[in-house]
């Protein structure tokens, strides 16, 4: 019995490793969504999809209504015609998401599986007419943990360099990197020259996201059930062969 249990646990571990599924949200080649009919402009309560994930920009403002502008899909190869009234990053020629007017961005796996947030690219998006670097940005990510509770991570997005904003690469670390989440929310805190930061109050908490790397992982109970099932099948086959 102990030998069978050890076999089941080993099989479950192998099955779990095999079922982990990596994906990258690139915002390129997005299919039409019936819940984001104004694409590339995105409103509160819109939802679209890529690589097995739902993607949902939204407003945290009191009294927000469906359609309030909270984001856009920008074409980095045509900033003049797709990045309006704000200062977008200039070092990305692909398409990317921009959060506008203090908008936030949520995402989760369509399968309902827990997933890890591995890395992403991000940039501060400057408000139109703003003098930089009088405002900087703190990007905060809040994840809803599988099993309950939440965990946050935050990243300082630099201001302009050479008069332009640029995407940079960011990787999660520590407990946040290893945690399985049911969903994560990205939002920006605008920080003044004195270092005071606030969210959802200035229309300056704007940011761009691209190449969000995630890994969906089944819950351990699912691995165990699969492993036990495979072990039971193996025992049945051995009994059949012995007969």
Say how far apart CA 9 and CA 222 lie, in whole Å. Answer: 12
Q: Which two tokens stand for residue 195?
A: 């270092």
Contact between residue 106 and residue 58 where contact means Cβ atoms under 8 Å apart: yes
Say how far apart CA 77 and CA 54 lie, in whole Å. Answer: 25
Nearest CA to 204 out of 150, 132, 155 is that of 132
* Mean pLDDT for the stretch of residues 26-48: 97
Calculate the CA 137 to chain-centre distance: 18
pLDDT at res. 133: 60
Asked whether the predicted pLDDT for residue 73 surpasses 80, the reply is yes
* Mean pLDDT for the stretch of residues 177-186: 98
Residue 240 region by backbone torsions, left for phi larger than 0, else alpha for psi between -120 and 50, else beta: alpha
Contact between residue 98 and residue 77 where contact means Cβ atoms under 8 Å apart: no
Contact between residue 212 and residue 117 where contact means Cβ atoms under 8 Å apart: yes
User: How would residue 2 be classed by pLDDT, with cut points 50, 70 and 90?
Assistant: very low
Residue entry with tokens 């190869």: 77
Asked whether the predicted pLDDT for residue 187 surpasses 70, the reply is yes
pLDDT at res. 15: 44
The CATH number of domain 18-242 is 2.60.120: yes
Contact between residue 24 and residue 213 where contact means Cβ atoms under 8 Å apart: yes
Q: What's the whole-model pTM score?
A: 0.81
Would you list the DSSP string of 21-74? Answer: EEEEE---SPPP-TT-TTTTEEETT--EEETTEEEEEE--STT--TT-EEEEEE
Lowest mean pLDDT among 4-8, 57-61, 146-150: 4-8
Residue 111 contacts by C-beta under 8 Å, 6 or more apart in sequence?
52, 216
Domain ranges of the chain: 18-242
Is 203 or 34 the better-scoring residue by pLDDT? 34
Say how far apart CA 86 and CA 31 lie, in whole Å. Answer: 26
Q: What is the pLDDT of residues 76-131, one digit of tens each?
A: 999 999 998 899 999 999 999 999 999 999 999 999 999 999 999 999 998 765 55
Q: What is the pLDDT of residues 213-241, one digit of tens each?
A: 999 997 665 444 444 444 444 443 444 44
Asked whether the predicted pLDDT for residue 10 surpasses 50, the reply is no
Centre a 10 Å sphere on the Cβ of residue 80 and count the other Cβ atoms it contains: 7
């Amino acid at each position: 019995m102990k030998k069978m249990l050890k076999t089941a646990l080993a099989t479950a571990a192998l099955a779990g490793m095999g079922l982990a599924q990596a994906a990258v949200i690139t915002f390129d080649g997005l299919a039409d969504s019936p819940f984001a009919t104004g694409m590339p402009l995105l409103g509160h309560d819109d939802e679209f999809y890529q690589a097995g994930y739902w993607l949902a920009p939204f407003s945290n403002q009191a009294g927000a209504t469906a359609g309030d502008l909270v984001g856009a899909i920008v074409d980095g190869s045509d900033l003049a015609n797709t990045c309006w009234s704000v200062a977008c990053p200039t070092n990305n020629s692909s398409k990317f998401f921009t959060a506008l007017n203090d908008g936030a961005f949520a995402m989760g796996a369509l399968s309902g599986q827990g997933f890890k947030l591995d890395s992403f690219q991000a940039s501060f998006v400057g408000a139109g007419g703003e003098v930089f670097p009088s405002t900087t940005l703190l990007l905060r990510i809040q994840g809803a943990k599988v099993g309950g509770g939440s965990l946050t991570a935050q990243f300082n997005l630099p201001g302009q360099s050479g008069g332009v904003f640029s995407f940079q690469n960011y990787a999660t670390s520590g407990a946040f990197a290893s945690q399985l989440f049911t969903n994560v929310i990205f939002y920006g805190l605008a920080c003044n020259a004195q270092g005071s930061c606030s969210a959802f109050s200035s229309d300056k908490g704007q940011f761009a996201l691209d190449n969000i790397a995630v890994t969906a992982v089944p819950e351990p109970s699912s691995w165990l059930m699969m492993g036990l099932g495979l072990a039971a099948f193996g025992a049945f086959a051995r009994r059949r062969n012995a007969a």
